Amino acid sequence: MLRPVRLSERVERFFARTPTLPPATHTESYALGSREVVLVEPATPYEDERHEWVAWARSLESQGRSLVALVMTHHHPDHVGGAEFLARELGLPLWGHPRARNFGLKLDRELVDGETVVLNGPTNSQWEVLHTPGHASDHLCLLSKEDSTLVVGDMVASVGTILIAPGDGNMIEYLHQLSRLEKLGATLALPAHGDPIENPSRLFRAYIAHRGMREVWIAKAVGMHPGADLDQLVKVAYADTPVEIHPIAKLSLAAHLEKLVVEGQVELRNERYSLTRAPS
């Protein structure tokens, strides 16, 4: 694969190897702006890849472009593994959602929902900040209305899928934010894992439908095995997935069950699950 790849006058793509979940092996970073530029996803913790990442950033400067900041979509290691090193090496500030501080990240600027990042240049670029929690409580997306382009971080991927884990993840919020993104009608999405996505609204709808289908299977599994725990339920609700993936699937299962408990469809007692009413 070639790197970097120029996607438009205002967007360039660069991938680097990161400790991400399979089948993905890399995280995509993006340079946004035609003259003033922000670099999204300072991701890689690996020395050789950091060297390439810095070389990419400096090549942008050699083209007469001005680096403004590093933007973190969220705090997961495969997105911020190089943040402090790259900020220091390039002399750039770190921008992210205020909740990123809860995970030990230092911020020079807080980005909040609804504000606009304005980048000057031959063609000015404006990116609206969207706070999209669900996968992570500090997750951000960036929307260019001029180009109908959406930087989506880990909301969706074109390689693999997206894990929603209990704790910082929240399935109810994740599905709500997918619906919000779908309504934007963007024509291109730039994910952190995999190639750019054309017609992303279609993929957002597919993700929502897939989660709904999985939830039906989970509710049926609970109905067939009242009082079962996560280890028992994952074998039934995720019988269509390889056994070696079940440890990860169990996290997703727990997030779905957490949603069903909040909605009153499932009850949890002593780490065991039962239906409160028959699944529809």
Return mean pLDDT, the chain: 96
Q: How many C-beta neighbours within 10 Å does residue 202 have? A: 11
Determine the structural domain holding residue 232 and report its residue range.
209-275
Domain assignment of residue 280, yes or no: no
Q: Are residues 46 and 104 in the same domain?
A: yes
Q: What is the CATH number of the domain that holds 186?
A: 3.60.15.10
The confidence score (pLDDT) of residue 273 equals 98
The confidence score (pLDDT) of residue 245 equals 92
Q: Are residues 230 and 92 in the same domain?
A: no
Strand partners, 131: 140
In 3D space, the residue among 69, 129, 122, 64 whose CA is nearest the CA of residue 97 turns out to be 129
Q: What's the predicted TM-score (pTM) here?
A: 0.95
The pLDDT > 90 percentage for the chain reads: 94
**Domain end point (choices 176, 198, 220):** 198
For residue 45, pLDDT over 90 is answered with yes
Q: Are strands 109-110 and 116-119 parallel, antiparallel or unpaired?
A: unpaired
In 3D space, the residue among 135, 111, 16, 125 whose CA is nearest the CA of residue 65 turns out to be 125
For residue 280, pLDDT over 60 is answered with no
The confidence score (pLDDT) of residue 123 equals 83
**Domain end point (choices 130, 164, 198):** 198
For residue 122, pLDDT over 90 is answered with no
What's the rounded mean pLDDT across residues 16-36?
A: 96
For residue 106, pLDDT over 70 is answered with yes
Q: Are residues 191 and 217 in the same domain?
A: no
List pLDDT tens digits, range 220-238. Answer: 999 999 999 999 999 999 9
Q: Are residues 187 and 250 in the same domain?
A: no
The confidence score (pLDDT) of residue 3 equals 86
What distance, in Å, lies between the first and last C-alpha atoms of the chain?
47
The confidence score (pLDDT) of residue 277 equals 67
Q: Are residues 59 and 84 in the same domain?
A: yes
What's the rounded mean pLDDT across residues 136-140?
A: 98
When divided into structural domains, the chain yields a total of 2
Contact status, residue 156 vs residue 168, Cβ threshold 8 Å? no
Instruction: Please report, for residues 10, 20, 83, 89, 151, the alpha-carbon distance to residue 30 in angstroms, rounded to integers and kept in the order given.
Output: 10, 17, 14, 18, 9
Q: Are residues 166 and 246 in the same domain?
A: no
Q: Are residues 39 and 101 in the same domain?
A: yes
What's the rounded mean pLDDT across residues 178-190?
A: 98
User: Rounded to the nearest 5°, which phi and psi values hold at 247?
Assistant: -60, -40
Q: Are residues 222 and 95 in the same domain?
A: no
Q: Are residues 100 and 216 in the same domain?
A: no
For residue 279, pLDDT over 70 is answered with no
Q: Are residues 117 and 166 in the same domain?
A: yes
For residue 2, pLDDT over 80 is answered with no
For residue 278, pLDDT over 60 is answered with no
What's the rounded mean pLDDT across residues 237-252?
A: 95
